[in-house]
Amino acid sequence: MYFWQFRVYQRPLLHPLQTHHGLWEIREGIIIRLEAEDGRIGWGEIAPLPEFGSETLSAAILFCKSLENPLSITSIFSIPEQFPACQFAFESALEDLSIENQSRELEPKNYSYLLPTGAAVFPCLDDILAANQTNTYKWKIAVNSLAEELNLFEKLIDRLPRGIKLRLDANGGLSIAESKIWLKIADECQIIEFIEQPLPPSQLEEMLQLSQNFTTGIALDESVANLRQIEECYQRGWRGIFVIKPAITGSIQGLINLWKKYPLDLVFSSVLETNIGRKSALRLAQEYPKKERALGFGVQQWFNNSDPDWLEKLWTTSANN
């Protein structure tokens, strides 16, 4: 049995993140602290993304308030699937308890760096390129008009050195006609690794069709936000890339079972979680046997990470839950 506590946190982004879903200014979530009978502590993070169909923060808070204390391993593995971010958090806290995990080297180097959206990329591009060893970058599209974005895109690829790969993430915001235009350009310019979620999740058939007609890869993200959706898309014929955001996918063990059962091409990706969720997500990404694709965790520039005592402060200054 584990005695446990939770704290709600709010973390402002240094610059708002602009995507097809809107402007994002504050990351909110919940930190979980599990205490084993021998005194070992394990940390976990609930970082919901309701735009992707996960539970909301308020649903997660209600769930935490309803959960037993002390908590058994059985109840951790019985968290219902409508709380995927909670499943991830409690399973990661459990893993974090084991000393073997705590001493393991994390932070692999192969990250995809998330660029500022739209024209905001230009003023800082040289600094970003100089500061990063990575060869993979991601740029959000389907935020401004197609004409404007095509124009910016041409200027952007002109300024990228040889050997750089670019991911374009539409967050489901393109039409079929616009997707065809982007895919045609991507096929011609040979610098695009993949286009991520061009159409909304309701248009899987159309994305299957697009994937047959172009050579540039398509990655599903919003369409495969939880374990059930990953399996469903695979069974409906998706053989392209799956973007996996471990913090909202659900059970960690469930995800490992899925990649052992099917030959899935996975790209791991952040939900702008804190270092607690990040550590568990990266640990999971390291267990995935195929390592060719850069991890979508090049997002630390969006936060001020300079306070090593943030967790201690969160625990002592916020209400005791």
Residues 6+ apart with CB under 8 A from 290: 265, 266
* 169 labeled binding residue: yes
Per-residue string for binding with Mg ion, 221-240, x by CB under 5 A? Answer: x-------------------
| 221 annotated among ligand-binding-site residues | yes
Select the binding partner of residue 33 from Mg ion, ligand OSB, none (C-beta < 5 to 8 A, by kind).
none
CA distance 135 to 294: 9
- Report 168-227 residues binding ligand OSB (CB under 6 A): 169, 171, 221
Task: Please say if 140 is a catalytic residue.
Answer: yes
245: annotated active-site residue = yes
Decide if 242 contacts 266 (C-beta within 8 A). yes
Q: How far apart are CA 208 and CA 112, in angstroms?
A: 25
3-state secondary structure 146-186: HHHHHHHHHHHHHHCCCCCEEEEECCCCCCHHHHHHHHHHH
User: Scanning residues 194 to 223, which ones bind Mg ion (CB under 5 A)?
Assistant: 196, 221
Give me the helices (H) in the chain, please.
Answer: 57-66, 73-76, 84-96, 99-102, 121-131, 146-159, 176-189, 204-213, 227-235, 246-249, 252-261, 275-287, 310-317
Q: Which of ligand OSB, Mg ion, none does residue 244 bind (CB under 5 to 8 Å by kind)?
A: none
193 touches Mg ion (CB under 5 A): no
User: Phi and psi for 273 in degrees, rounded to 5?
Assistant: -80, 170
List the single partner that 114 binds among Mg ion, ligand OSB, none, CB under 5 to 8 Å by kind.
Answer: ligand OSB
- Binding-site size for ligand OSB (CB under 6 A) equals 13
Out of 138, 165, 279, 293, name the contact with ligand OSB by CB under 6 A. 138
Give the strand pairing for 265-268 and 241-244. Answer: parallel
Contacted by 271, from Mg ion, ligand OSB, none: CB < 5 to 8 Å by type: ligand OSB
Query: Annotated catalytic sites, by residue?
Result: 140, 245
Per the annotation, binding residues for Mg(2+) are: 169, 196, 221
Interface residues with Mg ion (CB under 5 A) are 169, 196, 221
Q: Which residues are annotated as a binding site?
A: 169, 196, 221
Contacts to ligand OSB by CB under 6 A: 49, 112, 114, 138, 169, 171, 221, 269-272, 296, 299
